[in-house]
Amino acid sequence: MPSFARLATCSALVLHGCSEAALCRSPNAGQVLMQVAVMNLSRAIQEGKPHPEDRLRRGENDLVSFLPCGQSFVLNESFDMNAQCPPSCPYHALDQRGLPCTATCATSSQCRVFNPDAPVADIVTGSCRGALVDGCYRPKLDGTDTCAECASWFQLTDGKCRARYLWVAYLVLGLLCCLVLLLLAYLVELHWRPVTNLCGLEHALAARSRSKYRVSSELGRELWPLTTNLCRTSVGGPGLLLHFNFLAVVVIWAAAVGLGWLVLGYAVDTELLILGRKQYGTAYRNCVLVAWGYTTQQRLMQIKILYLALVYVVTFIGCIWHGVRQLRLFQASDVQDTMKAFAALVKGLPSIAASEDKLEKDLAETVSSLTGEPVVGVSVCWSFSGYKEQVSEVLHQNLDHEQPHLQSSEAGGLRQSVFSAETLVLAKFEGPQDRIEEEAVQELLKNVRSSSEAYVVFESRLARDKALLALAQGFSFRGNKLSLAAARHEPRGIYWHNYGGTRSSKMWKLLKGLACIGAGLAIWVGVFYVPYAWSILTFNYEGGRQPGIIYSLSFSIIVVIGNVSMYQICAAVSDNVGFKYKETREACYMVLYFVSVCLNIVLDLVMTYYMSFAIMVHLGFRTHDGIPLSKLPFFVQRFEAYAIQRAMGQNLYEYAFPSTFLLPFLGEPALAIFGLLRLGMLVVRSHPEVSPRVATALLAANDFEFGRYADSLLNVALAVMMFFFPGGYTHWIFFMLAISQAYIYIYDHWRVLRVVPAATFASMQVDWWSQVLLAPCCALLSACLVMKGNCQLGYCLEPPRLLLACLAAGLLHCVFHLLLLHYLVPALGTTPVNSRPVSYEQVATTEPCSWFSANPIHCIRSKYVYGHTPPSSFFVPGQESVMEVNKAIGCFFAARDAKVEEVSDFEIRLPKPGWRFALPSALTWKASEGS
C-alpha cells in the first residue's frame, strides 16, 4: 500500500477508536477498516443512532425500511423484514464476502458477485436467490433456473428435473379413483334395488333401537332425553359418569390456559402472540427474522417462564384435585344398588363338567347354611372359549325363524352376479340350518369345564355384606378351600367366554400384540411417511417458496391414517388377550393406544425435526450470532436455534390441528355410524334369506369404548409441547384443543344417548389409569420449565447436562405424581351411605341383564340340565321381549314396551332409476338416530 494511503487508513482507524499501532502497520488495514465500519454501522443501528454517513431511512414503525445502493450493512432486528431497495439496485443480496448476514442492494448483474450460490435475480421477491428447480442436487450457477445434476429418483431434461416414476403415482391415483367410482356405483345400485325384506329390516332396526340406553317411566322404557347431564346422571354406571367429567375438565383447562396466555400477551407485550408465526422467505428476510426472533424471545423469556411455572403448578394441583373429585364422584355413584351390590365372587372352585347337575344348588346351600343368609342363586363362570360358536348357536336357535327366499324378477345379469356374491358372503355369518338336538347339547356340556370362579347372589346388599363378614376366612366346598369377596363388576361388563385362560397365556398374547403394534408403525412409516418426507426434502425452497395446500392435506391424511391404524391394531390386540372384564380390556386398550400413538407422535416429531433442520440448513439459516446451523455440535443448541424453534412450532401446530385434534372425530360419525348403518340397511332389505340374527348383527351399533381417554390425553400432551417453542401458537393450540374437546364431548353425549348399546361400567379402573397417564403430561411441563429456565433462573448448564436435567425433572415429577395418586388421593375419599337400599328382586325386575341371564352356560344348563320351566332366558341386547319370568330361579325381568324408531326414521331417499337430464339437488335424510 502506498505511504499516503496507509497514512489515510491509519488515520481512519484512529478516528474509529483503533489505537493499536500494530493494527495500523498491518498490510490488511484496508479490509480491517471496512469491517470496523460495518460493525460501527450495526452498533449504531442497534443503539437507535443512525450513522452520520449512512443514508438508511426509517419507516413509521422506527425500523429501517428503505435501503441504499452500494452499501453493506449487518442485518439485525432493527431492519424491516419487508424493507425495499431503490429501483436502480432492486435486489437484496447477502454479501458472502463480509460478516454473516451482511446485505447489500444490488443490480441483477451483481448477484453473482456478492453470492455465487445465489446468482438468480428474482423480480417477484426482489432478491438474489439460487436456481429454482425441484429435485435438483447441483444447480447451474449461470443466473438461470436450470440444473446441472438431479437428485436420485429424478432425471435431467432440458435443465429441469423430472420424477422418474411419477407414472406410478398417477397409476395408483387412477386405481383409487376407479375403486371410489365402483363403490359409488355399487351404493347407487343398492339404493335402487327393490325392497324384498322389509320384515327383517324392521326387526333388526327395532332390536338396534331397544338396545340403547333407556330409562323406565310410566309410559314404558324410553330413551334418555338429550338434555340429560351425563356429568351428573349415571346412565351407564360410574365409569361412564367419570368419563364425561374427564372430558369436561380437559375443555375447561385448555380454555383457561389459552385465555391466560392471550391476556398475558395483551397485558405485557403483543409480540408474545406473534413470536414464531412470522413467515420465512428470502435470504434477507430470514436473517432479519432470526435476529428479531432471538432478541424478542430472550427479552420475553422471563415472562414466559413465570407463566409456565404458574401453569405447571396449577395443572399439577388440578390433576390431584381432579383425582380426588373423580374418586368422590365414583363413591357417591357406587352406593346405588345395582347388580354387583348383591353378588359375591367365589374363588377356588374345583374343575367340574357342565353336564353335572346340582353344582349351583349345592354351592348355594353351603353358603346359605354357613352364613345364615338366603341365597337367590349361583352363577358359575365356565371355561368355554374353545366352544364359543357352538354355545352361541344353541342359545340363538330359538330366536331365528325361516323366511322364504325371494328373488327379484327384474334382476339383470350384472345385478344378479353382485347379488349372488353378497349371498355367499352373508352365508358365512349364518349358523347351521338344522336344529341342534339335545344329545349334541349334552355332549357339548360334557366338554365344558367350570373355572375357579362363581358369583353367589344374595337378596340384598346387607345380606351380602353379612355373608362376606361371616366367611372372611374362607370355607370348604367339595374338598377345596374357597374364598369370598365383593363383586366389582356388573354382569354387562363381564366377558363370560374368556374364563379359563392362564396369566402366562395372556402375557404371551400381549407380547405378540406389542410386536404387531411395532410392525404396524414400521409399515405406516415405510408406506406413508417416507414418501411424504422425501417429497418435502426434495422441494425447492429458494426465494421463500413453501409447500402448498396439497402437502398440508397429505400430511393431515397421513396423521389420520396413522392414528386410525393404531386404533384398530390396539383394539384387536386388547380383544385377543382375553380379559374377563370389559373395564380391564378398556384400560389395556387405552394404555396401548396412548403408548403406541405417543411413539407415533415421537417418530413424527423426530422426522419433522430432521426435515426442518435439513431445510433450514439448505436455506442458509444461521443462529443469531452468525453461526451456521450445520456447525452446531449439540442437539440442544440446534433445537434452541430460533430458525428450528419457529419451524418446529409451526409443524407442531399443523400436526395438532386439525389433523389430530379434530379431523378423525369429524369423519367418525359419517363413516362409523351413518355409513355402516346405511350400508347394512341396504343389504338387509334386499336379501330376504338373511336370518333375523344376522340382520340384527349387521345393523347393530358398535359398543362404547374408552378410547376417548387416550385421544384426549394425547391432545393434551401435544398442546403442552407447544411451550417448548415460541409463543405465537400457544393460545391458538389451547383454544383449538378446547373447541375440539367440546365437540368430542357433545358428540359422545349424543352417541351414548342415541346410538351405542347399553352397557354398565361399574369400576373406575379406566379413569384411574387415565390419571396415571396425566403424570407424563405434567412432566412435560416440568421438563420445559427446566429447559427454558437455563441461564435464566440462576443456573446455566451445558447442552448435554441440560438434556439430562430435563429428563430427570420429568422422571421425578412422574414418581411424585404417582405417589400422590396412590397414597394421598384415596385418603381424601368419602364413604357415602345409600339412603334407599332395595332388594335384588326390585332391581332384577327392571334390569334384563342379570347374573343369570348374562351367563350363556348357566342358561343352557337351566334348560338341559335342571329342566327349569321356563328356563333362564339368555340376555341379547335389543331382544328383551322374549325373556320370561321364573322367580324360583332368580329371573324376575318382564319386558316392558319400549318405543322404537321406525324404518323411515333411518331412511335416505334417492331418485329412482330412469331419471334424466338433471342431477338431484340434495340427498334427503329424513331423520338421524333417534331424533
Task: Name the pairing type of β-strands 64-66 and 154-157.
Answer: unpaired
Number of H helices, E strands in the chain: 30, 21
Report which of 454, 472, 471, 452 is spatially closest to residue 373, judged by C-alpha positions: 471
Q: What is the DSSP letter of 874?
A: P
Task: Name the pairing type of β-strands 343-347 and 480-486.
Answer: antiparallel
**Within a 10 A sphere around the Cβ of 553, how many other Cβ atoms?**
11
What pLDDT score was predicted for residue 401?
Answer: 44
Asked if residues 687 and 403 have their Cβ atoms less than 8 Å apart, the reply is: no
Q: SS3 letters for 294-316?
A: HHHHHHCHHHHHHHHHHHHHHHH
Torsion on CA atoms 353, 354, 356, 362, rounded to nearest 10: 100
In three-state secondary structure terms, 645 is helix
- Between CA 391 and CA 858 the distance in angstroms is 11
In three-state secondary structure terms, 375 is strand
Q: Under 8 Å CB-to-CB from 445, ≥6 apart: which residues? A: 353, 354, 355, 857, 860, 861, 864, 865
382 vs 268, 509, 860, CA distance in Å? 67, 21, 12
Specify the DSSP element, H or E, that contains 481.
Answer: strand 480-486
Asked if residues 594 and 773 have their Cβ atoms less than 8 Å apart, the reply is: yes
- Between CA 738 and CA 661 the distance in angstroms is 10
Tell me the three cell numbers of residue 304.
Answer: 414466559
Q: What is the DSSP letter of 662?
A: T
Query: What residues of the chain score a pLDDT lower than 70?
Result: 1-61, 97-98, 218-220, 398-412, 431-434, 540, 542-546, 548-549, 834-835, 896-898, 902-931
Q: Under 8 Å CB-to-CB from 241, ≥6 apart: which residues? A: 230, 231, 232, 233, 234, 235, 329, 330, 333
Asked if residues 734 and 261 have their Cβ atoms less than 8 Å apart, the reply is: yes
Asked if residues 646 and 609 have their Cβ atoms less than 8 Å apart, the reply is: no
Task: Tell me which CATH homologous superfamily contains domain 339-395+445-489+842-907.
Answer: RRM (RNA recognition motif) domain (3.30.70.330)
**Within a 10 A sphere around the Cβ of 175, how many other Cβ atoms?**
10
- Between CA 622 and CA 643 the distance in angstroms is 8
First to last CA, the chain: 94
- Between CA 886 and CA 893 the distance in angstroms is 9
Report which of 259, 289, 291 is spatially closest to residue 273, judged by C-alpha positions: 259
Q: Under 8 Å CB-to-CB from 391, ≥6 apart: which residues? A: 384, 444, 448, 497, 856, 857, 860
In three-state secondary structure terms, 214 is strand
How is 862-921 classified by DSSP, letter by letter? HHHTS--SSPPPPP-TT-GGG---BGGGTB------B----GGGG-EE-PPTT--S---S
Q: Where are the alpha helices (DSSP H) in 471-548?
A: 503-524, 530-537
Task: Name the pairing type of β-strands 127-129 and 120-122.
Answer: antiparallel
What pLDDT score was predicted for residue 189?
Answer: 87
What pLDDT score was predicted for residue 194?
Answer: 86
670 vs 150, 675, 697, CA distance in Å? 45, 6, 20
Tell me the percentage of the chain whose pLDDT exceeds 90. 45
Phi and psi (nearest 5°) for 399?
-90, -25
558 vs 529, 600, 850, CA distance in Å? 7, 11, 45
Report which of 360, 312, 142, 326 is spatially closest to residue 247, judged by C-alpha positions: 326
| Domain limits, CATH 3.30.70.330, in the chain | 339-395+445-489+842-907
Task: Name the pairing type of β-strands 79-84 and 64-66.
Answer: parallel
- Between CA 31 and CA 20 the distance in angstroms is 16
Q: Under 8 Å CB-to-CB from 460, ≥6 apart: which residues? A: 342, 837, 838, 839, 840
Tell me the three cell numbers of residue 50.
Answer: 443512525
- Between CA 841 and CA 884 the distance in angstroms is 14
